[in-house]
Structure 1
Amino acid sequence: MAENVFLVGFLFICFNFSAAQMVPAMFVFGDSVVDVGNNNYLQLSFARATLPHYGIDFPTKKPTGRFTNGMNPADFLAEKVGLPTSPPYLSLLNESNRNNVSFLTGVSFASGGARVLDGTDPFVLQSIHLTQQVDYFSTVHEEVQKQLGFSGAEKLFLKSIFVVVIGGNDILGYFRSSDLRNKIVPQQYVASMVLTLKAKLKHLYNHGARKFVIVGIGALGCCPSRRRETKNEECNEEINYWIIKHNEGLVSMLQELKSDLKDIYYSYFDTYTVLLSLIQKPAAYGFVEVKAACCGLGSLNAEIFCLPIAAYCSNRSDHIFFDRVHPTEASYRILVDYIFYGPLQYTFPMNMRQLVAV
């Protein structure tokens, strides 16, 4: 086994992998948009996508912990760079052999319900928040150093992609909590989110990360659960306004980070604008239903999540949203194409494909 690990490490250090594999590894941090099953291993969590009809269009046709009908952005991004989907970190803790080579192609720390500001979550044990995700990466960093040595690990992380998709739960949580709104004004709240994320990115940088894909928060005010609370089922403009303000702060922060850390590279994706484009011009992207969820019950199928008692649509590729919050696989596929290929209008200062080549 030791010889096999050495061989794999040598191949990765020399980057002598297949032509389809563009990077040695992908490390994923975030929330339910990119969770591939970490929450399945949280015994006290109810935030799991383990019941029908989640996964109905996944290759296995079974729930996997992905909060959609099929594959999610973590799967599609891995596919783009020729890697297997990064496995859930908590699934690897059950492995009897901790020198698992899975670490060498990446790991996912993403968790449904995760927040940037973990102290604001009233359901603390339901999710792995960003602070804990970053701490878990520190453990993985040590494991990779044991396997490849300091120099080998440094080379691996230098070329790897670090994907960060988080913040939506913070925003939605703020507007659901009268306690939070009484304690802090929205300007301070989104500013605190940005500053906290900056500190976490610096931590990852100090542990060898150099290439980041940062995904901005989408137009969550237009998701079915928020539409059903407004007159005429329109988007919640207050939520969308503060998402825009958060994303503007995030872009400024990334520019400052690049100024401070010359050898850091990033691709920022303007999810908000692209998702809104899908909603406002659905026919151009092959969609029909922009307001209602595919799976759920009640008005807009958005009064409950996609539980086994819920009805679900047969024409899932026609819907932008699968459940009351999460997009369908069809929506995610389009969003990831934008992340990977651009254009500069939506992915800047470079797209993911260009980031890989740096």
Structure 2
Amino acid sequence: MKKQAVAAGFVLLSFMLPLKASAANFSKFYVFGDSLSDTGNVFAATGGLVAPTTAIPQEPPYFQGRFSNQQVWVDYLGDELGLTPSPYITLNPTIPNQGINFAVGGASSGQGNAVVPNAPLPGVLEQVGLLTQPTLQANQKLDPDALYAVWGGANDYVFGQATNTTQTVQNLSDAVGLLALSGAKNILVFNLPDLGKIPLASAIPGLSSNLTALTNKHNKELADELGKYSKNSDLNLISVDVFSLFNQVEANPEKFGFQNVTTPCVVGNLQTTISVCSQPNDYLFFDSVHPTTGVHKLVADAALAAIEAKSIPEPTINLGILALGAFGVVGVLKRQQKRSTDQVFDAQLSHTTVKN
């Protein structure tokens, strides 16, 4: 029996190996989210392209408008896919359009901004509307070969004072539904890390346990809500379990190269820095809310692994066999991580940071 299983594994592996290449064959990369995904929108909106030291987030210590010390997951995954989505606020028609990043620091899951409520900055559902509404009005479809990523909700609970998960989860589900209705086929959806473990929550009595409870409820309801799309055979809905990833890092930080998983590297706020640690990459958190670039790299790796696991093979491959062997072969694929690096267009206007 064991020999048969091994033999089957090799056969399945021969089918699965081409999937890594097909996973990178997206035509464009579109991103919708908050500060964890923003690559320059808030930075540009607050004058960062002219005066980076007074913008949000302040540069330095933040990296080129990103809410981290270096690149964020969008940059890392984009490098793997050979695609650089341009921040929509600084979008220039002369730049080769490899996609658009609509993510805005402080974005609510629905409309508006939980951190800067009076600013004309779109929430996650609004961001999706910026792309889909012109398409729907023109009776056209979104590019089915593009990759679309949706990640939000944290600002509702941390800054928006939401005490119920229903509306937040519905906003994210509606965002996915609107993309699917408009023709999107490949959609990445991220759940939330344990918000009760961010340094900001730990500093306020009672906030940590409350945010942990909301996170758990949010993730469960989001998974249930997204399950409704499972019957749509034309939709490649790809879930990324950030919650488990963060828990693994916090439980065994040395394994992932971190020394401090509880306190932030930067003391201050997004516009006024009091102090910065000497070794940011030793920290899980760059400030009281946002992770360091090393964590973003892990998120990008998790997203790429999820994409590869859900990639659809050629029609001639027996889908029943593929489904049977997917779980076992994923482990083999993870050990074959020699990826070819594509030369990515260096979008000079992509200097931005995200505020959660």
Range with bigger deviation, 24-33 or 74-83? 74-83
What secondary structure sits across from 1:327 in the alignment?
coil
Counterparts of 1:252 and 1:107 in 2: how far apart (Å)? 28
1:164 aligned to 2:150? yes
1:322-351 alpha-carbon deviations (Å, 9 max, x no partner): 01100000111122212222xxxxxxxxx1
Distance verdict in 2 for CA 1:117–1:47, change over 3 Å: farther
Counterparts of 2:119 and 2:255 in 1: how far apart (Å)? 41
1:224 paired residue number: 199
Amino acid at match of 1:117: G
Contact kept? 2:132, 2:178, Cα under 8 Å: no
Query: What is the CA distance between 1:80 and its match in structure 2?
Result: 1.8
Distance verdict in 2 for CA 1:90–1:355, change over 3 Å: farther
1:247 aligned to 2:189? no
Contact kept? 1:26, 1:162, Cα under 8 Å: yes
Contact kept? 1:47, 1:112, Cα under 8 Å: no
1:271 paired residue number: 242
Range with bigger deviation, 124-133 or 42-51? 42-51
Distance verdict in 2 for CA 1:33–1:246, change over 3 Å: same
Pairing partner for 1:42 from 45, 49, 63: 45
Bigger proportion of residues as helix:
1
Counterparts of 1:312 and 1:68 in 2: how far apart (Å)? 12
1:146-180 alpha-carbon deviations (Å, 9 max, x no partner): xxx96xx65xx211110111111011124xx4xx6
Contact kept? 2:192, 2:215, Cα under 8 Å: yes
Query: What is the CA distance between 1:21 and its match in structure 2?
Result: 5.0
1:319 paired residue number: 283
1:286 paired residue number: 257
Query: What is the CA distance between 1:127 and its match in structure 2?
Result: 3.2
Query: What is the CA distance between 1:120 and its match in structure 2?
Result: 8.0
CA RMSD of aligned residues (A): 2.9
Counterparts of 1:129 and 1:102 in 2: how far apart (Å)? 26
Range with bigger deviation, 31-40 or 18-27? 18-27
Counterparts of 2:193 and 2:265 in 1: how far apart (Å)? 19
Contact kept? 1:295, 1:306, Cα under 8 Å: no
| Ranges in structure 1 where 5+ consecutive residues have no aligned partner | 1-17, 56-63, 181-185, 297-303, 342-350
Distance verdict in 2 for CA 1:193–1:294, change over 3 Å: same
Query: What is the CA distance between 1:19 and its match in structure 2?
Result: 9.3
1:257 paired residue number: 229
**Which aligned pairs between 1:54-133 and structure 2 lie closer than 5 A?**
54-55=62-63, 64-83=64-83, 85-92=84-91, 95=92, 98=93, 100=94, 102-103=96-97, 105-118=98-111, 121=114, 123-125=117-119, 127-133=121-127
Query: What is the CA distance between 1:226 and its match in structure 2?
Result: 1.1
Query: What is the CA distance between 1:309 and its match in structure 2?
Result: 3.5
Contact kept? 2:148, 2:184, Cα under 8 Å: yes
Amino acid at match of 2:212: N
Higher relative contact order (CA 8 A, sep 6+): 2
Counterparts of 1:171 and 1:330 in 2: how far apart (Å)? 25
1:51 paired residue number: 59
Pairing partner for 2:274 from 274, 293, 310: 310
Counterparts of 2:122 and 2:47 in 1: how far apart (Å)? 12
1:206-254 alpha-carbon deviations (Å, 9 max, x no partner): 22111111011111211111112248xxx81221111111111111111
1:333 aligned to 2:319? no
Distance verdict in 2 for CA 1:236–1:22, change over 3 Å: same
Amino acid at match of 1:251: A
Counterparts of 2:289 and 2:36 in 1: how far apart (Å)? 10
What secondary structure sits across from 1:33 in the alignment?
coil
Counterparts of 1:19 and 1:81 in 2: how far apart (Å)? 10
Query: What is the CA distance between 1:282 and its match in structure 2?
Result: 0.9
- Give the aligned length: 287
1:138 aligned to 2:93? no
1:12 paired residue number: none
| Ranges in structure 2 where 5+ consecutive residues have no aligned partner | 1-20, 49-53, 314-356
2:342 paired residue number: none
What secondary structure sits across from 1:284 in the alignment?
helix
TM-score (norm 1): 0.72
Contact kept? 1:44, 1:126, Cα under 8 Å: no
